[in-house]
Structure 1
Amino acid sequence: MRVPLRPVLAGAAVVLLLAAAAGGLWFTQGDPAPEPVPEAAEESLPLPPEPPRVADSPEYEECLGKLRDDAQGALSFAEAWEGQGGGDGARHCSALATLALGDPQRAATRLEALAARTPGTAARAAIFGQAGQAWTVAGQPSRAYGAFTLALAITPNDVELLVDRAIAAAALGRFADALADADRAIAQDSSVAEPWVFRAAALRRLERPQEALRDIERALSLDPGNPEALLERGILRQLAGDEAGARADWESVIAASPDSAAADLAQQNLALNAAGPVRR
């Protein structure tokens, strides 16, 4: 069975980094956007649906079971269990609870340390991938890139890891590297929309808008309501002078996914579009 890699918790950060990969909002075409600064967490961050297993015990399952509804309880359980010899299972649950409680930097450090000592290729790569996602949420794409590279050294053709590293590369302004990873991801599986979206973002920053639009249309053919793809197509349409088309795409994002980070960015673009050339 394949070990899941992508934490749900990074969804908002991925969208923000897509904006950075695209050069910020549509009106920003200069230097790469600054790295996003994570805000203090007011609520628990969501977690991976099935964290990779590093232990096989009732305590481990009980601790992981607490993560969804009682992250603080999971952390307390993990710390007590570790003090009683819980080992890697306790350390993994503790790191995930720390992440859920809004401290991604500390969680990333713990996950990297755990991955370094975890036997088995799938679990080791998965935990390095989780560390990379945590560094992404912490707004440290350089550390994220390093963690994803370690994971890819173990599983070099993993599509999700390639996309994750492409996002980190784009946040660092390394758009050619982002494009290379997106190319590899698509070569492995061309049926998933996400790699096409991020390749389009990289192509646009490399001043290849026609190719970017082609990729976005492919992404939307695979997933017609994909909010990140609609956000990106709106940016491309705006740059091509199609303000009505851009507005339609951004309004679609807001209507379909009103509580998403993509909708927030779409709303910002609409507001700036309405403000006119003086604000651009």
Structure 2
Amino acid sequence: MDTIVLDADRRLHGPYTLGAALLRRLVPEALDRWPDLVAAHDIEIRAAAPCLPVPARRRSLAERLPRAQRVLIPGPRRTLRIANGLAEFVRGHLDRSGPLAVTVDNLDEADPTDAELVEVLRRRLGPELLRIGPGRSAPRTGPLRADFDRFRDEGFHHAMAEAGLEALRGMAYEADPEGWRVLVQRVAAALEAVEREEEARALYDRARRASTEPRHRATIAYGTAMLLVRHHDHGRRDPEQAMAWINEAVTIASLLPDPRERAFHLGFDLNGKALVELRRGRPSAALALVEEAIGLAERDLPGEHPIHRLVLRGNRAQLLAQTGRPQEALDDYAVAIGADPVYPDYYLDRGNLLHKLGRHREALDDYEAAIRLSPPFPEAYYNQAEVRFATGDLDGARADLDHTLELDPEFVPAYVNRSGIRAAAGDHDGARRDVERGLALDRRNPYLMCVLGQVEAAQGRQAEAVAAYDAALELDPDLVAAWASRGALAFEAGDHAAALDDLTRALKLAETADLAYNRAMAYRAAGREEEARRDLLRAAELAPDDPDIRRELAGRG
């Protein structure tokens, strides 16, 4: 077995110092012997080790544009996709070349990208691959080497925050006003991405004290508004205060004298205002704002800012879907995808809409495209599982959920769905394990509490089941499954009045044949035959081919 020692100290080469060193060891051989393996992971290898001569098989529109037009900044979860893709590349290499032992020095000094990569490698490939070393190399001192363009383009937000704050400490606004303004904007956005919103807000306030340049004032007003509507702590979101700030951004941008500059900046701010309106529960107002931004771009930015234009189309598609105009939404998604066919996110969004419309094969095609075009994408596998479940492919759904959780063990909705599948299949111990894992991450998840109630009931723990359903309904009073399940428990216990109350509440929230049938049985047990027959007739309208419903109707005349 080969053994190598790699230094993870981020002050050597910044993000993916360790990852790049490992790739420099493995990629040259793979390029020579297994180029298909490299091609399958070109995005993640190029992100972690840009020095390596890896051909770009999947090349987005952004990579072909001037940096000023690259308005899409990767989200904080992208590095998890990169880490999973690198883990799959390493596994593929080792399967072909034989085992490798890696000793990692200075992991405590690693950038979060490398710390995440180590966790993913050890979890997915086994802890024997990586050993945390004794620190043969002394940790470096001094600031992180700054590569602000790379940090921004790849979504290396921790590095941007660390190096940017250090640079700003020694940078006078008067010496380079434009450079200072750009760095403030980038660093504040990075701080928001890593959930350090208070520091981002302080930086915006500092910028307001230093700068009177109109575009910059509009940008920092926009940034402040986004902090207030996207705060990671939902309890600290404030859409009304955000509206005050985004209106300032819109006002300033609307006064910019150059029509092209005004169209871009004002369109950007109107798009931000649309998010604020959405958070205020006004999707129609949000849609009108995005349409205004699209009109500006079409009139004053012909042939320019293609990413800005496709973002507006994608956002309008989401709002059209929410306001009951699905075909127009699909048309906009088609435009956005046509503008950048290798950008995966809009395939995911369009797949979600197609799934809601019952167009399951097309939804799966879009999810498969997102998976093919992106480093490993937990959300795509999760959404694919939902389609498979809806079409009765429980084994396929379970496999997709398994893979979702292999990629991201903190993906709580996947625990919800997998525990439900396990409970329905009679694997109550497995369902309980999934519930416990999910609740360890989200103690206030009503769906997990509802599945816990199902597990407790199946294992004969009626009081515990009722307590779980009570907790679920306290967290979400509109959770139909909890009302229905608690009503079924009451029926089994002979408490027909309680069963009728819960089933009636469930039916008010969602009228289904199963619920109408179950309430009919509760009415019948309570001696209320007329109401029972009325529910059975309604159940027959909703599910005319259901044999149980037909039998009950026939049996009672």
Using the size of structure 2 for normalisation, the TM-score is 0.35
Residue number in structure 1 paired with 2:409: 156
* Count of residues in correspondence between the two structures: 222
Distance in 2 between residues matched to 1:80 and 1:73, nearest whole Å: 11
Residue number in structure 1 paired with 2:341: 86
Could you list the runs of 5+ residues in structure 1 that have no partner in the other structure?
A: 4-48, 50-55
Could you list the runs of 5+ residues in structure 2 that have no partner in the other structure?
A: 1-74, 78-282, 284-306, 527-550
Q: CA deviation at 1:169?
A: 2.6
Q: Does 1:170 align with 2:423?
A: yes
Deviations 1:71-123 (A, max 9, x none): 3344445556656652234644553443343212431343144225412x6xx
Q: CA deviation at 1:217?
A: 2.3
Q: Which amino acid aligns with 2:362?
A: R
Deviations 1:122-172 (A, max 9, x none): xx1122222122222323222221112111112112222210221233344
Greater mean deviation of Cα atoms: 165-174 or 77-86? 77-86
Structure 1 vs Structure 2 CA RMSD:
3.2
Distance in 1 between residues matched to 2:384 and 2:325, nearest whole Å: 21
Distance in 2 between residues matched to 1:191 and 1:239, nearest whole Å: 28
Q: CA deviation at 1:197?
A: 0.5
Residue number in structure 2 paired with 1:266: 515
Q: Does 1:204 align with 2:460?
A: no
Q: Which amino acid aligns with 1:267?
A: A
Residue number in structure 2 paired with 1:229: 482
Distance in 2 between residues matched to 1:222 and 1:265, nearest whole Å: 24
Q: 2:316 aligns with which of 62, 65, 68?
A: 65
Residue number in structure 1 paired with 2:178: none
Q: CA deviation at 1:188?
A: 1.8
Q: Which amino acid aligns with 1:107?
A: A
Distance in 1 between residues matched to 2:401 and 2:374, nearest whole Å: 16
> Residue 494 of structure 2: SS of its match in structure 1?
coil
Q: Which amino acid aligns with 1:134?
A: V
Residue number in structure 2 paired with 1:130: 383
Residue number in structure 1 paired with 2:187: none
Q: 2:496 aligns with which of 238, 243, 262?
A: 243
Change (3 A) 1:77 1:252: closer
Distance in 2 between residues matched to 1:251 and 1:223, nearest whole Å: 17
Deviations 1:50-84 (A, max 9, x none): xxxxxx65325414522514433444455566566
Whether the 8 Å contact between 1:163 and 1:195 is mirrored in structure 2 is: yes
Distance in 2 between residues matched to 1:174 and 1:194, nearest whole Å: 18
* 1:50-61 equivalences in 2 (<5 Å): 58-61=309-312
Distance in 2 between residues matched to 1:2 and 1:235, nearest whole Å: 43
Whether the 8 Å contact between 2:352 and 2:383 is mirrored in structure 1 is: no
Q: Which has the higher contact order (CA 8 A, sep 6+)?
A: 1
Change (3 A) 1:81 1:171: same
Whether the 8 Å contact between 2:404 and 2:411 is mirrored in structure 1 is: no
Whether the 8 Å contact between 1:182 and 1:199 is mirrored in structure 2 is: yes
Q: Does 1:180 align with 2:429?
A: no
Deviations 1:9-38 (A, max 9, x none): xxxxxxxxxxxxxxxxxxxxxxxxxxxxxx
Q: 1:142 aligns with which of 395, 398, 410?
A: 395
Distance in 2 between residues matched to 1:238 and 1:180, nearest whole Å: 28
Change (3 A) 1:101 1:271: same
Whether the 8 Å contact between 1:95 and 1:111 is mirrored in structure 2 is: yes
Using the size of structure 1 for normalisation, the TM-score is 0.66
Residue number in structure 1 paired with 2:241: none
Q: CA deviation at 1:276?
A: 4.4
Whether the 8 Å contact between 2:317 and 2:333 is mirrored in structure 1 is: no
> Residue 88 of structure 1: SS of its match in structure 2?
coil
Q: Does 1:115 align with 2:368?
A: no
Change (3 A) 1:235 1:135: same
Change (3 A) 1:76 1:191: closer
Distance in 1 between residues matched to 2:437 and 2:385, nearest whole Å: 19
Q: Which amino acid aligns with 1:110?
A: D
Residue number in structure 2 paired with 1:219: 472
Q: CA deviation at 1:242?
A: 1.3
Distance in 2 between residues matched to 1:114 and 1:158, nearest whole Å: 18
* 1:9-28 equivalences in 2 (<5 Å): none
Higher Cα Rg, which structure: 2
Change (3 A) 1:2 1:147: farther
Distance in 1 between residues matched to 2:352 and 2:517, nearest whole Å: 32
Whether the 8 Å contact between 2:342 and 2:373 is mirrored in structure 1 is: no
Q: Which amino acid aligns with 1:130?
A: N
Q: Which amino acid aligns with 1:99?
A: H
Q: Which amino acid aligns with 1:242?
A: D
Q: CA deviation at 1:271?
A: 0.8
Whether the 8 Å contact between 1:63 and 1:77 is mirrored in structure 2 is: yes
Whether the 8 Å contact between 1:71 and 1:100 is mirrored in structure 2 is: no
Q: CA deviation at 1:228?
A: 2.3
Distance in 1 between residues matched to 2:515 and 2:506, nearest whole Å: 7
Residue number in structure 2 paired with 1:35: none
Distance in 2 between residues matched to 1:94 and 1:225, nearest whole Å: 27
Distance in 2 between residues matched to 1:239 and 1:265, nearest whole Å: 16
Change (3 A) 1:95 1:215: closer
Change (3 A) 1:230 1:186: same
